[in-house]
Amino acid sequence: MKPDKINTKEVIKSRAFMLNMSIFLGIVINVTLAFAAHKLDLPVYVDTIGTIIVAGAGGLIPGIITAVVTNLLCGFFHNSIVYYAVLNATVAVLTSWFVYRGHHKNPVKVAGIIVLFAIICGGLGAIFEWLLAGQPEYEYITDAIQRISQSRGVDPFAVFIALNICLNIVDKGVSLLIGLLVLHFIPEDKKKALRDSIWKQRPLSPKEIKDIEKKRSPHSLQTRVTMLIVLSALSITIIMAWISVSLYFENAKEMYLENAYSAVKFAAQVIDSSKVDDYIRYGEEVEGYKATDETLAKILENSSGVQYLYVLQIRKDGCHVVFDVDTPDTPGGEPGDIYEFEEAFEPYVPALLSGQEIAPVESDDITGWVLTVYHPVYDSSRRCVCYTCADVSMKYLSGYVSQYILRAVLFFSGFFLLIMCAGLWLSRSYLVYPIDSMTYAAGNFVYERDDLYDAADLARHQESVEKLKGLEIKTGDEVESLYKVLCTMTSDTLKQMKDIRHYMSTVTQMQNGLIITMADLVENRDSDTGAHIQKTAAYVRIILNGLKEKGYYVDKLTEKYMSDVEMSAPLHDVGKINIPDAILQKPGKLTPEEYEIMKTHTTAGKKILDQAISTMQGENYLKEARNMAAYHHEKWDGTGYPEGLYGEVIPLSARVMAVADVFDALSSKRCYKDAMPLDKALGIITEGVGTAFDPKVVEVFMDHLDEVKAVLKKYNEVSGLS
């Protein structure tokens, strides 16, 4: 056993090493080809050949890991490629399914999957690229789109999608064909070893996996673990993306505010504070006004994130315009124009009137959602004559944030897939598959039969133990410890069951011996010397088997019931122990009085066996012995004794014994008669159908006459019956 265990462990390590190497080589192939395409400025990525090979040979999860890691590594030399991990993961999913189903051997289906790859990767890739950059990445692609859209009158975005799908037909077509060619030359045993690497044990067969899936509950461990991993990976991804977006927003806001402060401070330095009142009154007529306005325009142009730049003088009646720089979308106000105080600024009016500095003010006015920065301009006497003001558009900022959110979602979706696949891989390898395998292998230890220790049950349990030991689970953790304990427990239980069966067999033999001895004691008092108890027991067995073959009394004829009836059949005449020898051994016909005494052997037998049953607990075979002893002289039409029962009210065991007993009495020599010819005895049995005997019992008795004759030949020496 030790060498096998070592070999199993080494095989598991070898399979894991092969898979890790295949993933590594797949990533190297992808990254190398993507780097070459990037350096050659090609409009394709060529980064899925390794993914296709790994997914086709090793399965879904290794393929997804190869795809996602490839995109993350390619991000070091090609920034935008990291956002397409989800598309390459889709290639891995479809390839794994495609190869697993065997569709890769059909040229038509290969062409179909290439088109599907192109539509998914090309179509979605074009949408992602357009949303991220607003235009294609390559200038020559942009030029081609413009020429086509202008000449055909088609929307440029639609042209871009169609063109990108065509490019991906080439990209994914070449990648898939190369990948399938490589897969063709990989030996099947190597592919199987790669697919089996997820098992930290002996891999289960497809049939075993299917059986496990059928029995799996909707609330199974695999379902719960999968849900936990998916939710955890999704939560981590959302939290990481949210933190990233929040930090980006805060940093961008701080940067734009810093630019706005720089702009208003610089603007304050170029304004002649002594001419502010003249600027308000006369505007461009004042010397230096136009030059100052042009300088402010340049400050605005060079202040990233600042949407508006203007100068106001704060008075009680409102904000008087000194300068208001024109922008392409909004013309500035004229000198002397008065703006009313907005609601957001009302708390700051007293501070503004007194010339104090205030914190940035966030407002939502006619210019939109803005963050306004004010900086006082002082004259030579340190009196605030006006404020230079800059507006940072929050909508403009939120636009950048929206694009960043898209980038974050696409980027972290790759991490989500990577975390999820790694978690599912580990949980299935080290937890779900081993536990499912142990449950399946040990399933035959669930007792489903009445007789827990018969040969069939023991064989079934032996097979279960061998299956369990054959799993060779090597997780190296608590699951492996549980597996070893379970193997020991089932082996010990099986040994105990074998011991108990041996003891039960011994007890059963003793019981049978006592039954035969007791029956012989009764028979020896009778004048019948024809092995009556042996023959009737044999006839009973023949009839019971025949009834079961015919499908009669299916609910009643269990293996235990048939065994009980056959074993207790010799006791059917135990009540004769109470009959006097003079009557029991009388060579002639009994008188009516003697016959009545003889009939009491049925009630006497019932009483004897009832007393025996009362000393034993639970179900036991003596209950059927009592039924046969008490009612084997009842008749189907209700004319029998001792109670006049009829039809199926008579216990089945007694109806079977009635035919066996009467036939043996007819076909055997007794002290008061000779053995009747077989044909005549069978005729009497047939005549009793529906009156003395159960028709179904007689039917199967007559159907098995060859077996009946074999019993007669064995126990009778009457030549005419053999």
Say what the alpha-carbon torsion angle 463, 465, 467, 468 is, to the nearest 10 degrees.
160
List, in order, residues 6 or more apart from 87 with CB less than 8 Å away. 120, 121, 124, 125, 128
Q: Is the pLDDT of residue 346 over 90?
A: no
CA distance 177 to 586: 100
Distance set, CA 196 to CA 15, 225, 291, 433, 469 (Å) = 7, 21, 79, 12, 19
pLDDT band at 398 (very low <50, low <70, confident <90, very high): low
Six-digit token pair at 535?
């023959």
Helix orientation angle between 156-185 and 124-133, rounded to the nearest 10 degrees:
130
Looking only at Cα atoms, what is the longest distance across the chain?
161
How much is the pLDDT for 362?
A: 80
For every residue of 164-206, DSSP letters joined together read: HHHHHHHHHHHHHHHHHHHHHHS-HHHHHHHHGGG-SSSPPPH
Q: Is the pLDDT of residue 367 over 60?
A: no
CA distance 125 to 86: 10
Q: What percent of the chain has pLDDT over 90?
A: 29
How much is the pLDDT for 322?
A: 94
**Domains of the chain (ranges plus CATH)?**
2-198 (1.10.1760), 248-402 (3.30.450.20), 529-721 (1.10.3210.10)
How much is the pLDDT for 32?
A: 94
With left for phi above 0 and alpha for psi between -120 and 50, is residue 288 left, alpha or beta? Answer: left
Pick the closest to residue 443 from 201, 196, 199, 204 (CA basis): 204
Q: Average pLDDT over the chain, rounded to whole? A: 83
**pLDDT tens string 34-85:** 999 888 888 888 889 999 999 999 988 899 999 999 988 988 888 888 888 8
Q: Is the pLDDT of residue 612 over 50?
A: yes
Least confident of 120-129, 412-421, 497-506: 497-506
**pLDDT tens string 200-230:** 888 888 888 888 777 777 777 777 777 877 7
Least confident of 79-88, 242-251, 522-531, 575-584: 522-531
List, in order, residues 6 or more apart from 103 with CB less than 8 Å away. 109, 110, 113
What is the DSSP-derived secondary structure letter of residue 383?
-
Least confident of 5-14, 435-444, 549-558: 5-14
pLDDT, average across residues 299-326: 91
CA distance 517 to 532: 13
Mapping DSSP to helix (H, G, I), strand (E, B) and coil, where does residue 562 land?
helix
List, in order, residues 6 or more apart from 13 with CB less than 8 Å away. none
Residue 393 β-bridge partners: 370
CB of 572 closer than 8 Å to CB of 629: yes
CB of 332 closer than 8 Å to CB of 325: yes
pLDDT band at 415 (very low <50, low <70, confident <90, very high): confident
How much is the pLDDT for 584?
A: 74
How much is the pLDDT for 267?
A: 94
How much is the pLDDT for 122?
A: 87
Q: What pTM value is reported for the model? A: 0.59
How much is the pLDDT for 455?
A: 67
pLDDT, average across residues 152-168: 88
